[in-house]
Copies of this chain bind each other. A is one copy, B any other.
Amino acid sequence: MLKYQEIAIEIEKYIEENALQQGDKLPVLETLMTQFAVSKSTITKSLDLLEKKGMVFQVRGSGIFVRRHKRKGYISLLSNQGFKKDLEDYHITSNIIELDVRTPTEEASHNLNIEPNADVYYVKRIRYINGQTLCVEESYYNKAIISYLNKEIVSESIFDYIREGLGLKVGFTDSYLHIDKLNDEEANYLGLNKGDPKLYVEGIFHLTNGQPFDFSKVTYNYQQSQFFIQSNGYLL
């Protein structure tokens, strides 16, 4: 981890431990520089990272302020670190329905930008939150990048494994959301009724080098899932 990332974590801890509220002012740049004994450019990078993460906002000529409208138990639609992190106070488990190596569907090969006869790991699992169904997920992992998966890995956070086990850097994500009605099969997996509402999310996950490595299709149990999005202003 780089210095500016470490400092960002320290500042985040400071906000948590002091239970700072939305709009509370952080110490000025010079104080933070002295406190962490780093250059202005390092502390600026730390603050930019925290701003990206929606932890602070910066007002030119006025200072750095805490941003925390986050409500407990909401899943961030901006995090691409897997949602286990948002729900760490909850008990998340998985039930694996299918796990095998196969060739991708046309849709998956298109979204992963691989040949129709390339190998993918196909994972279908139901995820539970405190014993209730949270979602049913189908994912296609490009096997040329995600070279190995097994039942044990897939029953935990696959993203933790990708980062820590495989040492890969997860970059940006494109997500497409639809609201619709559950079909028979989905209702059955989620323990709901056919025709009940669903949130259906297609996600394309990329490494920091821009290569897509995971195409996933997730259907959420509407009774168990709440989402939040923090967006920053675009200046155009």
Contacts and interface: CB of A to CB of B under 8 A. Distances in A.
B172 A236 contact: no
Contacts of A67: 172, 210
A198 B176 contact: no
Given A69-B174, A174-B69, A230-B173, A179 B235 contact: no
Interface of A: 2, 5, 8-9, 22-23, 49, 52-54, 57, 59, 62, 65, 67, 69-71, 74, 77-81, 113, 169-181, 196-199, 204, 206, 208-210, 220, 222, 225-236
Contacts of A74: 176
B236 A8 contact: yes
Contacts of A8: 236
List the 4 shortest-distance A-B pairs measured between CB atoms, nearest first.
A197-B197, A179-B222, A69-B174, A177-B227
Nearest to A48: B48
A23 B99 CA distance: 30
A3 to B, nearest CB: 12
A77 B177 contact: yes
Contacts of A171: 57, 232-233
B234 A52 contact: yes
